[in-house]
Structure 1
């Protein structure tokens, strides 16, 4: 399904470039014909048969190019989203919990001096940091620190 849409989008892009090129050629032919005629009544056939259709083809080509590029981008976004969903379901299968759940489960809570969040000890944001210190329960209860949105420490721990 995605490859069919991608092929159609590439076909639209090719048609856009072809229309642009044909329009440019017609405009050049029209200009050349008009420049060789001295009287306006002899210039009108070149304008009507070459320059105006050439300008219309240039506009149509620009529209096709814009639509084709949007279609290619939308197809690539859908493909990336499908990969993301597949990776999320694979993460949920390996760990036995949903992919959107907390990333840490330790009961001990830490903070970084000068920080505004408190974390579980195994949170990836503080894991392995020597400057991380244990959170005082009174500090967490007073509202001086907020729970980390990544590891989601419970309010009663700390």
Structure 2
């Protein structure tokens, strides 16, 4: 899927840059022609044949570039979504896990003072931190602390 979108996006980007370049060249030619003529009636052909089409090509090139970049961004989002879906849920559903909050708090659960989550002792977010302390059961019971989404301490057992 990625290669199909990239094949579509790259020609659009190239066409956008080409339209911008041709439009800029036409505007410069039109300006040069207008600046060399003294009378307005002799300037009109340069405006009609170079400056106005050049400005239109610049606008068209900008639109093509914006569309091409949107297509590239959409491709990247689809690729990341595909990787996310392919990896599946992080922990999977365990039949033994309780549906609600934690049932018990064991001494191997840790929290950081002032934090909002409680963690397993081996969680990478608290492992090796000197300020990590055992979880206060009152904070968990009151809902002041939530389980860490990384280590998922759903119950008090390690």
Q: Distance in 1 between matches of 2:18 and 2:140?
A: 66
2:92: which partner in 1? Answer: 98
Q: Per-residue displacement from partner, 1:15-71 (whole Å, max 9, x unpaired)?
A: 011111111111111112212221111111111111111110111111111111111
Instruction: Say what the alpha-carbon RMSD is for the aligned residues.
Output: 3.0
Deviating more after overlay: 120-129 vs 76-85: 120-129
Residues 128, 19 of structure 1: alpha-carbon distance in 2 compared, 3 angstrom cutoff: same
TM-score (norm 1): 0.73
- In structure 2, distance between residues paired with 1:139 and 1:49: 76
- Structure 1 portions without partners, runs of 5+: none
| Larger relative contact order (CA 8 Å, sep ≥ 6) | 2
Structure 1's 36 and 114: CA in aligned 2 closer, same or farther, altered over 3 A?
Answer: closer
Structure 2: segments with no counterpart, 5+ residues:
98-104
Contact 2:139/2:145 (CA < 8 Å) preserved in 1? no
Q: How does 1:109-128 map to 2 (within 5 A)?
A: 109-128=109-128
Match of 1:5 in 2: 5
Kept in 2, the 8 Å contact 1:111–1:117? The answer is yes
Q: Which moved more, 1:112-121 or 1:41-50?
A: 112-121
C-alpha separation between the residues in 2 aligned to 1:116 and 1:4?
45
State the partner residue of 1:73: 73
Q: How much does 1:131 deviate?
A: 4.7
With normalisation by structure 2, the TM-score equals: 0.73
Task: Report the Cα distance in structure 2 between the residues aligned to 1:139 and 1:34, rounded to whole angstroms.
Answer: 78
